[in-house]
Homo-oligomer: A and B are copies of this chain.
Amino acid sequence: MPRSGAEARRRLRQAALELYRERGFDQTTTAEIAARADVNERTFFRHFPDKREVLFDGQADLRDALTRAVAEAPDGLEPLDVLLGAFREGGRILEENRPFSEPRQEIIAATPTLRERELAKAAALTDALADALRRRGVADRLAALAAQTGWAAFHHAVQAWIDDPSQSLDAHLSQTFADLRALTGHYVRGSRGAG
């Protein structure tokens, strides 16, 4: 039996990931996950409310890290700078969890109910970021727009990092936000008909 709670949780995540890949998500029971992790099923439910949530374990940490980083960002930063700083913080969590993050994406993509939960969580996370920006005094309308477009850019950077792990997520984030700046920078200057 794993001694610490954190160790049990890690083993449960690992066991779930293995079983979902081997048998499919729908064919796996919480009892089987607990057995593979060498803990009681009661221990499973002490850590996770259901077998879907095992795959979203990191998301609560991610949300907390992102909203805390938004709250604690220096005064005077523009909303997108605040978000970029927060995504850099959040990115550290994803990088630490890469061995878990990659197979997890495959399982989610293959399971409609998991895809739905993932999209719902992303929507909730975007709302949380918008609220955190509002608490910094960002106007209501701008906060929602910044959170939605910023999240789209973050999602884009994470996908680029999964496709190309030769660069860090931090490097992909820098690239993506520079691209976004260039895209809308050109837009600001206006170049209709400039060829």
Contact = CB atoms under 8 A, between A and B. Distances in A.
Interface of A: 74-81, 112, 115-116, 119-120, 141-142, 144-146, 148-149, 151-153, 155-156, 160, 175-176, 179-188, 191-195
Contacts of A179: 141-142, 145
B183 A142 contact: yes
A78 B191 contact: yes
Nearest to A153: B149
B145 A192 contact: no
B145 A156 contact: yes
Contacts of A175: 141
A194 B76 contact: yes
Contact of A153 (B116, B148, B156): B148
